[in-house]
Structure 1
Amino acid sequence: MENHTPSDAYVIGIDYGSDSVRAVLVSAHTGQEVAQAVHPYARWKTKRYCNAARNQFRQHPLDHIEGLEATVRRVAQHVPAAQIKGLAVDTTGSTPGPVNEQGVALALLPEFAENPNAMFVLWKDHTALAEAAEINHKARTWGGEDYTRFSGGIYSSEWFWAKIMHVVREDEAVARAAYSWMEHCDWLTLLLTGGELKTCKRSRCAAGHKAMWHESWGGLPSEEFLTLLEPRLGGLRERLFEQTYTADEVAGHLSEEWAQRLGLTTDTVVAVGSFDAHAGAVAGEIEAYSMVKVMGTSTCDIVVAPMHEVGGKLVPGICGQVDGSVIPGMLGLEAGQSAVGDLLAWFRGVLEWPLRTLLPQSALLTPEQQQALREELSDKMMAELNRAAAAVHPDDSQVLALDWVNGRRTPDANQALKGALMNLTMGTDAPQIFRALVESICYGSRLIVERFEQEGIPIQQVIGLGGVAKKSGFLMQTLADVLNRPIKVAESDQAPALGSAMYAAVAAGIHPSVEAAQRAMGNGFAQTYQPNPARVADYQRRYEQYQTFGQFVEQATAPVEVESEPETAAHA
Structure 2
Amino acid sequence: MTRDYVIGVDCSTTAAKAVVWDAGGLAVAQARADFELVQQRPGWGEQNAEDWWAATSAAVRRVVQTVDGSRIAALCVTHQRETFACLDRLGKPLRPAMLWMDGRAVEEVESRGTPEVHRITGKPPNPTPAWYKLLWLARHEPETLQRTGKVVDVQAFLVHRLTGTWATSWASADPLGLVDMTTFDYDDGLLAEVGLDRSQLCALHPPGAVLGSVTDDVAQRLGLPPALPVVAGVGDGQSAQLGAGITEPGRAYLNLGTGVVSGTYSETYSYGREYRTLAAAVPGAYTLETFIGGGTHNLKWFVEKFSGVDTRALGLELSPEQVLETAAAQLPPGAEGLLVLPYWTGALTPYWDHHARGVLLGLTGAHGKSHVYRALLESIAYEQRLLTSGAEQVLEKPIEEVLALGGGSRSAVWCQILADVMRRDVVVVREPESTCLGAGMLAAAATGLYPSIPDAATAMSGTARRFTPDPRVTEEYDRLYEVYRDLYPALRELFPRLAGAVRP
**Same fold by TM-score, threshold 0.5 exceeded?**
yes
Structure 1 residue 316: deviation in Å? 3.3
* 8 Å Cα contact 1:100/1:178 also seen in 2: yes
- The aligned counterpart of 1:408 is 347
Seen in structure 2, the aligned counterparts of structure 1 residues 151 and 559 have a Cα distance that, compared at 3 Å, is farther
- Aligned counterparts, 1:179-190, within 5 A: 179-190=149-160
Structure 1 residue 170: deviation in Å? 2.9
* 8 Å Cα contact 2:294/2:343 also seen in 1: yes
Within 1, Cα distance between the matches of 2:444 and 2:309? 50
* 8 Å Cα contact 1:248/1:271 also seen in 2: yes
Within 2, Cα distance between the matches of 1:73 and 1:494? 19
Within 2, Cα distance between the matches of 1:64 and 1:313? 33
Match of 2:164 among 189, 194, 198: 194
Within 1, Cα distance between the matches of 2:328 and 2:141? 46
Whether 1:439 aligns to 2:394 is: no
Whether 1:535 aligns to 2:496 is: no
Within 2, Cα distance between the matches of 1:291 and 1:399? 28
Whether 1:175 aligns to 2:130 is: no
- The aligned counterpart of 1:303 is 264
Q: Secondary structure at the match of 1:188?
A: helix
- Aligned counterparts, 1:207-246, within 5 A: 207-214=173-180, 216=182, 219-223=185-189, 228=193, 233-234=194-195, 236-241=196-201, 244-246=204-206
Match of 2:32 among 21, 30, 38: 38
Within 1, Cα distance between the matches of 2:284 and 2:131? 27
Q: 1:536-561: CA deviations, max 9, x gaps?
A: 11111111111111111222223599
Structure 1 residue 100: deviation in Å? 1.2
- Aligned counterparts, 1:414-425, within 5 A: 414-425=353-364
Within 1, Cα distance between the matches of 2:393 and 2:186? 29
Within 2, Cα distance between the matches of 1:218 and 1:270? 21
Within 2, Cα distance between the matches of 1:429 and 1:17? 34
Structure 1 residue 243: deviation in Å? 5.7
- Aligned counterparts, 1:363-402, within 5 A: 373=313, 380-394=319-333, 397-402=336-341
Structure 1 residue 24: deviation in Å? 0.5
Q: Which has the larger radius of gyration?
A: 1
Amino acid at match of 1:82: S
Seen in structure 2, the aligned counterparts of structure 1 residues 105 and 274 have a Cα distance that, compared at 3 Å, is farther
Match of 2:5 among 1, 5, 10: 10
Match of 1:257 among 217, 232, 241: 217
Seen in structure 2, the aligned counterparts of structure 1 residues 429 and 531 have a Cα distance that, compared at 3 Å, is same
Q: Secondary structure at the match of 1:149?
A: helix
Give ranges in structure 2 of 5+ residues lacking alignment. none
The count of aligned residue pairs is: 498
**TM-score, with length taken from structure 2:** 0.92
**TM-score, with length taken from structure 1:** 0.81
Q: Secondary structure at the match of 1:244?
A: strand
Moved more, 96-105 or 487-496: 96-105
Q: Secondary structure at the match of 1:274?
A: coil
Within 1, Cα distance between the matches of 2:428 and 2:404? 5
Structure 1 residue 57: deviation in Å? 1.5
Give ranges in structure 1 of 5+ residues lacking alignment. 1-5, 107-117, 141-145, 356-370, 563-572
- The aligned counterpart of 2:292 is 337
Q: Secondary structure at the match of 1:384?
A: helix
* 8 Å Cα contact 1:189/1:273 also seen in 2: no
Match of 1:203 among 162, 165, 169: 169
Structure 1 residue 150: deviation in Å? 5.0
Q: Secondary structure at the match of 1:147?
A: helix
* 8 Å Cα contact 1:25/1:75 also seen in 2: yes
Match of 1:126 among 103, 109, 118: 103
Whether 1:459 aligns to 2:429 is: no
Amino acid at match of 1:393: P
Within 2, Cα distance between the matches of 1:354 and 1:497? 32
* 8 Å Cα contact 2:427/2:466 also seen in 1: yes
CA RMSD of superposed structures (Å)? 2.6
Q: Secondary structure at the match of 1:36?
A: strand
Within 2, Cα distance between the matches of 1:321 and 1:59? 24
Structure 1 residue 527: deviation in Å? 0.6
Structure 1 residue 148: deviation in Å? 1.0
- The aligned counterpart of 1:84 is 72
| Percent of residue pairs bearing the same amino acid type | 26
Larger proportion of helix: 1
Within 2, Cα distance between the matches of 1:549 and 1:194? 51
Match of 2:302 among 347, 356, 364: 347
Q: Secondary structure at the match of 1:316?
A: coil
Q: 1:376-431: CA deviations, max 9, x gaps?
A: 68953211111111211136611111111011221232233111111111111111
Whether 1:319 aligns to 2:319 is: no
Seen in structure 2, the aligned counterparts of structure 1 residues 378 and 346 have a Cα distance that, compared at 3 Å, is farther
* 8 Å Cα contact 1:11/1:85 also seen in 2: yes
